[in-house]
C-alpha cells in the first residue's frame, strides 16, 4: 500500500520540479506508468484471484469495450498491443516487446525487431547482404552494427 502511494508522491514531486536531479531518474516511470490513486477496489483486485495478464473489473466500473476483450467471467483482457502487469490496468506494449494478446508481454526474440509501441507481433529482420548488421539480440528496436572483426551472415544468429 505504501509503495503505491510512494510512487504517486514521487511523480507529483517530479512534476513540481522536473529539474531535480534525483527525481529526474523517475521521469520515464512517471510518464509511462502514470500511477493511479490507491482505492479499496484496487486493493481487492491486487489481492484477488485475478490471473496474470488479466484486467479484473472493479465492482461497478464500466470499462471501454473498444479497449478490452471480454470473456464470460468477470475478467477482461487487454487488446492486442497491450498488456497487464497489474490486475486493474492495461498498458501499451513498449518498443522492444510485443503483446500478442491475453494481456501478456514478450520480449522481441533474436532475429526480430519491435521498433514501435503497441506491436502485436515482432517484425523479422531482413537479411543484410553487406553482413554489417545483426539482430542476434532480444528486445531490439532495429538491427545493430556487427561487432568489429565479425561477419554477421544471418539476422538471428550470433556473429
- For the stretch 134-144, pLDDT in tens is 999 999 999 99
Give the pLDDT of residue 31.
Answer: 76
Average pLDDT value for residue range 31-37? 66
Give the pLDDT of residue 109.
Answer: 94
Percent of the chain's residues with pLDDT above 90? 26
CA 135/CA 18 separation, integer angstroms: 36
Give the pLDDT of residue 60.
Answer: 42
Q: What is the DSSP letter of 130?
A: T
The answer to whether residue 150 scores a pLDDT higher than 70 is yes
Closest CA to 18 of 92, 107, 10: 10
The per-residue pLDDT of the chain, averaged, comes to: 76
Average pLDDT value for residue range 10-22? 86
Give the pLDDT of residue 122.
Answer: 95
Single pTM value for the model = 0.57
CA 59/CA 42 separation, integer angstroms: 10
Amino acid at each position: 500500500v505504501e509503495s503505491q502511494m510512494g510512487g504517486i508522491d514521487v511523480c507529483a514531486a517530479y512534476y513540481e520540479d522536473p529539474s531535480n536531479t534525483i527525481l529526474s531518474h523517475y521521469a520515464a516511470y512517471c510518464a509511462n506508468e502514470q500511477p493511479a490513486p490507491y482505492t479499496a477496489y484496487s486493493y481487492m483486485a491486487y489481492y484477488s484471484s485475478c490471473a496474470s495478464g488479466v484486467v479484473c473489473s472493479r465492482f461497478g466500473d464500466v470499462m471501454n469495450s473498444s479497449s478490452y476483450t471480454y470473456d464470460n467471467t468477470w475478467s477482461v483482457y487487454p487488446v492486442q498491443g497491450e498488456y497487464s502487469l497489474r490486475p486493474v490496468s492495461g498498458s501499451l506494449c513498449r518498443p522492444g516487446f510485443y503483446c500478442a494478446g491475453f494481456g501478456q508481454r514478450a520480449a522481441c526474440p533474436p532475429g526480430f525487431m519491435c521498433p514501435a509501441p503497441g506491436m502485436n507481433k515482432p517484425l523479422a529482420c531482413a537479411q543484410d547482404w553487406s553482413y554489417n548488421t545483426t539482430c542476434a539480440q532480444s528486445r531490439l528496436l532495429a538491427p545493430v552494427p556487427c561487432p568489429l572483426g565479425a561477419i554477421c551472415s544471418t539476422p538471428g544468429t550470433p556473429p
